[in-house]
């Protein structure tokens, strides 16, 4: 079967023929991958940055966002059957630790990640534990089912608190930030403001329903927010992983407001917690992944009911063999989500 691999330590991937999996563990499932989408994490691994060098052990089949069809199941599998259409939660829990036993599998202390710690889904067939498979509704197109995992990031970040009637600032309009705009609107936010510096993403933020888009490279974000809102925003959704965006975003939150942080900063950052958070009574939520499987249920319902339109986020659907073009688009930020079609 064809697969995209990080074959050796260093930049880049290769596509090559590898053996199709033949053996399944008792609770493992063989999935025929029909769509796979490219994530920012895949780009980090492609570039072979510092994080990748410390985490990835080549050779490894990469990729973790997918939609596919169950073609074989292990002897003890009970949650899916052959023919089911599935997407996958990429956080693979141990199911035994305190977190797993108390409804917090997404922060399992023994967590493994699909396409990072074990072979992933940029391939024609993938072996995936039944524990992390989600049978998505038949009304959801495969292209959009393949991005339910990052869509879940947007949902978890936005809906960790009640957005009804709230003024929301989203810092960063990458694909997950764009999805969060639609989630906030669908959830009853009274005003959704987005900050973004990239011209293409500014346009996409508008297309995805942002009420106001501010370019912080051209306008003072904090002054602009207080001019618009008088008292600041109720909720900050930080999607950029940029220190300046976080610091200014916190300044924009009204006293006693809330901040939900998904962006990854890549190391230590220096901000004044006394003045920005503690003395202003700000509640901060750290977000990683998706709640299993609360977030997936919400994602399914939003897509099935068409309350969220991912055609405004999925900008490219390419043949699997054109994966290099997909990564080029991602590296140059010339796209939203890029989906690879394996049919």
Catalytic residues: 41, 44
Please give the Cα distance from 280 to 117 (Å, whole number).
40
Please give the Cα distance from 338 to 315 (Å, whole number).
6
N-terminal to C-terminal alpha carbon distance within the chain: 13
Query: What is the DSSP secondary-structure string of 17-58?
Result: E-PPP----TTEEEEEEEEEEE-HHHHHHHHT-HHHHHH--S
Please give the Cα distance from 182 to 167 (Å, whole number).
14
**Dihedral over Cα of 336, 151, 90, 65: its sign:** negative
Please count the CA atoms within 13 angstroms of the CA of 6 that sit on its side-chain side. 28
Which DSSP symbol is given to 278? I
Structural contact between residues 192 and 168, judged by C-beta atoms closer than 8 angstroms = yes
Structural contact between residues 282 and 304, judged by C-beta atoms closer than 8 angstroms = no
Please give the Cα distance from 289 to 157 (Å, whole number).
9
Give residue 26's region: left, alpha or beta (phi > 0; psi -120 to 50).
Answer: alpha
Among all chains, which residue has been given the structure tokens 């067939």?
Answer: 125
Structural contact between residues 235 and 169, judged by C-beta atoms closer than 8 angstroms = yes
Q: Which helix (H) or strand (E) holds 228?
A: helix 221-229
Partners of residue 236 on adjacent β-strands:
169, 259
For 326-339, letters b (16+ CB in 10 Å) and e give: bbebbeeeebbbbb
């Amino acid at each position: 079967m064809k697969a995209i691999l990080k074959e050796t330590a260093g930049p880049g991937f290769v596509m090559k023929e590898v053996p199709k999996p033949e053996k399944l563990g008792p609770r493992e499932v063989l999935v025929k991958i029909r769509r796979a989408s490219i994530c920012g994490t895949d780009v980090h691994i492609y570039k072979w940055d510092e994080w990748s060098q410390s985490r990835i052990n080549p050779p490894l089949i990469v990729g973790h966002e997918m939609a596919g069809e169950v073609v074989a199941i292990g002897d003890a599998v009970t949650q899916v059957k052959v023919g089911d259409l599935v997407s996958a939660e990429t956080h693979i829990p141990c199911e035994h630790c305190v977190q797993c036993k108390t409804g917090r599998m997404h922060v399992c202390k023994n967590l493994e990640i699909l396409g990072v710690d074990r072979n992933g889904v940029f391939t024609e067939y993938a072996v995936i534990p039944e524990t992390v498979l989600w049978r998505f509704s038949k009304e959801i197109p495969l292209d959009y089912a393949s991005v339910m995992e990052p869509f879940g990031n947007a949902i978890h970040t936005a809906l960790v608190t009640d957005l009804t009637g709230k003024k929301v600032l989203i810092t960063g309009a990458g694909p997950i930030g764009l999805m969060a705009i639609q989630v906030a609107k669908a959830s009853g936010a009274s005003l959704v403001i987005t900050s973004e510096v990239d011209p293409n993403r500014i346009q996409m933020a508008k297309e995805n329903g942002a009420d106001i888009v501010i370019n912080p490279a051209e306008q003072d974000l904090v002054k602009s927010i207080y001019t618009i809102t008088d008292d600041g925003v109720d909720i900050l959704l930080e999607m950029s992983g940029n220190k300046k965006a976080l610091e200014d975003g916190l300044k924009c939150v009204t006293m006693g407001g809330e901040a939900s942080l998904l962006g990854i900063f890549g190391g230590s950052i220096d901000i004044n917690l006394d003045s920005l958070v503690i003395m202003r009574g700000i509640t901060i939520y750290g977000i990683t992944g998706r709640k299993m499987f609360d977030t997936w249920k919400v994602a399914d319902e939003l897509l099935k009911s068409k309350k969220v339109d991912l055609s405004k986020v999925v900008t490219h659907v390419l043949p699997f063999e054109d994966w290099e073009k997909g990564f080029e688009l991602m590296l140059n930020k010339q796209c939203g989500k890029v989906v690879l079609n394996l049919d």
